[in-house]
Chains A and B, each alone.
Chain A
Amino acid sequence: GAVVSQHPSWVICKSGTSVKIECRSLDFQATTMFWYRQFPKQSLMLMATSNEGSKATYEQGVEKDKFLINHASLTLSTLTVTSAHPEDSSFYICSALSGSGQRTYTFGSGTRLTVV
């Protein structure tokens, strides 16, 4: 089946630095990628939706200058957390929507970000 590879699975960074998270669709073309944030034992909060070659659409309350999303190709989308602070520590998950056939939502394995 469809696989989305998300890296890194966990990362620790210092406050003020930037961190990039990658999601790659391995065997299909992802026309649309969704980025979520999840706190422990809570639901997934959609941060933004990106379509290949277009600017991402951010949900209300999400700082677009802080969470930079790039979807430059049909198989790669990245989320960069700029000038990270401890409150950005969370679990980030990507989800890709395949472009043809019976469209399905395939999730990456997530990235645990800890900002110290």
Chain B
Amino acid sequence: AQTVTQSQPEMSVQEAETVTLSCTYDTSESDYYLFWYKQPPSRQMILVIRQEAYKQQNATENRFSVNFQKAAKSFSLKISDSQLGDAAMYFCAYGKVAAGGTSYGKLTFGQGTILTVHP
């Protein structure tokens, strides 16, 4: 079974600074998806970034980027120029891939990291 581990229960960062959230996973599959979700105080789950395992290039979305190390099974999230609105709980998640390359099945979530942004 797949497992996802976030070893940092809490992290803090100063506004405008950069912070990196860690995530490791365990799987025997060669193709899969990895996600970072943000859950602000409203508790609405928001997709931050998505990475297909077959792609060597790291995904980026504006101030958010990942460092995907497939061999090490590591998938960290870097937030640059942190803003007060980035304060939230962040979840790393693993998703299976069906034939044809589409997502299917349940997501496996990590324990989450609470990010605090100081003004």
Mutual binders A and B: yes
Number of A-B contacts (CB under 8 A): 46
In the complex, residue of chain A having the shortest beta-carbon distance to the beta carbon of B42:
A109
Q: Which residues of chain A in 30-48 are interfacial with respect to chain B, using CB atoms and an 8 Å cutoff?
A: 32, 34, 38, 41-44, 46
Proximity bits, B82-119, A CB within 8 Å = 1, else 0 = 00000001010001000000111111011110100000
Query: Which residues of chain B are near A91, meaning CB under 8 Å?
Result: 43
User: What's the least CB distance linking A6 to chain B, in Å?
Assistant: 10
- B16 on the A face (CB < 8 A): no
Q: How many residues of B contact A (CB 8 A)?
A: 20
Rounded to whole angstroms, the CA-CA distance of A38 and B112 in the bound complex is 12
Contact B112 A42 (CB under 8 A): yes
Contact B109 A104 (CB under 8 A): no
Contact A109 B44 (CB under 8 A): yes
- B11 on the A face (CB < 8 A): no
> With A41-B114, A109-B42, A110-B43 in contact, is A103–B103 under 8 Å at CB?
yes
Rounded to whole angstroms, the CA-CA distance of A102 and B47 in the bound complex is 14
Contact B112 A93 (CB under 8 A): no
In the complex, residue of chain A having the shortest beta-carbon distance to the beta carbon of B50:
A104
Rounded to whole angstroms, the CA-CA distance of A97 and B114 in the bound complex is 26
> With A34-B107, A102-B102 in contact, is A107–B114 under 8 Å at CB?
no
Query: Which residues of chain A are near B114, meaning CB under 8 Å?
Result: 41
* 3 nearest A-B pairs in the assembled complex, by CB-CB distance: A107-B45, A103-B103, A103-B102
17 extra A-B contacts, CB within 8 A, seeds A38-B43, A103-B104, A107-B45: A32-B104, A34-B107, A41-B114, A43-B91, A43-B110, A43-B111, A46-B107, A49-B106, A91-B43, A95-B107, A97-B104, A103-B102, A103-B103, A104-B103, A105-B47, A105-B107, A107-B44
Which residues from chain B sit less than 8 Å from chain A, CB to CB? 35, 42-45, 47, 89, 91, 95, 102-107, 109-112, 114
